[in-house]
Amino acid sequence: AQKITQTQPGMFVQEKEAVTLDCTYDTSDPSYGLFWYKQPSSGEMIFLIYQGSYDQQNATEGRYSLNFQKARKSANLVISASQLGDSAMYFCAMRDEIYNQGGKLIFGQGTELSVKP
């Protein structure tokens, strides 16, 4: 069965510093996708970044990068130059891309990031 684990319930980071949010996953499927979403207190889930299991390079989107280590089954999110507006819950998610699961996302428990001024 697929599983996503986020072991950091809460993290603090100083404004303008970089922070890494951990995510490990478990799947027996050869083809899968990994996602990170941000959920501010308003509740809306905001898509940040995607990594496909066959992608050779780590994904980057602006200040977000995904440190993908396939052998270790980890997909950590790195946020560079943290801003106060980055304070939110962050969810790692995975989807099976071969067995017609319809893009169903499996989410981790989330990490609450607080950026200090």
Partner 1 sequence: EAGVTQSPTHLIKTRGQQATLRCSPISGHTSVYWYQQALGLGLQFLLWYDEGEERNRGNFPPRFSGRQFPNYSSELNVNALELEDSALYLCASSFGQYNEQFFGPGTRLTVL
Residues of this chain that interact with partner 1 (CB under 8 A) are 33, 35, 37, 42-47, 50, 91, 93, 97, 101-110
Closest to 33 (Cα-Cα) out of 110, 101, 93: 93
**Which C-beta is closer to partner 1: that of 1 or that of 71?**
1
**Which C-beta is closer to partner 1: that of 104 or that of 116?**
104
**Which C-beta is closer to partner 1: that of 14 or that of 54?**
54
47, amino acid identity: F
Least distance (Å) from partner 1 to the CB of residue 103? 4
Least distance (Å) from partner 1 to the CB of residue 22? 16
Cα angle 66, 67, 70; round to 5: 115
Cα angle 38, 108, 28; round to 5: 125
**In the structure encoding, which two tokens stand for residue 52, read together?**
């496909």
